[in-house]
Amino acid sequence: MKNIAGLLVLALLVSCSGTLKLENNIQAKDGNKIISIPEVKTTIAYHGDYVFHDFSNEYFPIVRTDFLKDLKKLNSKKMGRLLYASHTSIRPIFSSTAFLYEKKYNAKSFAEQLKKELRSDYQATNLEVSIYGTKAGEFYQLTYYIENPELKIKTQHVEYIGILKEKTIRIIFWTIDSNEQSIFRESEAIMKSLTMQWH
């Protein structure tokens, strides 16, 4: 546990010096950080203690490195463009990132394919796919656990996959908080703010 605590402290320290390199617009409003995603004319609000930064392993010390490496490949190979990467600066630590795919996929099939890949590539467990409604339209919620053999911990993940303006968006959250319901409260509070601004 000391190693985990040390990694969390490191993440907090790094977050203080992190640089923000996003193509999206971020504005502070009513204690939240409002992210505009112009390509799909959508906004989403994260509460004030989220720090936005580059997609780098140093900001995400608790999750498996191969999981992060594969997410990076999406951006480098232009399969999915990184929209943002972030984590909370106050415990419990939650991390979140999002990718935009230029192609319009079937959201349910996309989630089911991810489910298969997560089980195969990372031996993910407790995989479940369900419909999730937002103000911006219907999404699919994908939940799972991934074990980090190096740290001997499990990270709990929730993903949201949906179609916005003929593009596919994938929003990911994860944590090691022992309270299984905390990540649902956290992610759903943020997803409730997802709003289409222009039609």
* Band (22; pLDDT cuts 50, 70, 90): low
Nearest one of 25, 55, 52 to 38, comparing CA atoms = 25
Query: Confidence class of residue 48 from pLDDT cuts 50, 70 and 90?
Result: confident
Number of residues in the chain: 199
CA–CA distance, 128 with 72 (Å, rounded to integer) = 24
What is the spatial distance between Cα 69 and Cα 166, in angstroms, rounded to a whole number? 27
**Tens digit of each residue's pLDDT (9 = 90 or more) over 59-111:** 999 999 999 999 999 877 678 899 999 999 998 899 999 999 999 999 999 99
Residues 6+ apart with CB under 8 A from 187: 96, 158, 160, 173
Which domains, ranges and CATH numbers included, belong to the chain? 2-196 (3.40.1000.10)
CA separation, residue 123 to residues 40, 64, 87, 196 (Å): 33, 12, 24, 35
Give percent of the chain above pLDDT 90.
70
pTM above 0.75?
yes
Indicate if the pLDDT at residue 24 is higher than 90.
no
CA distance 53 to 85: 6
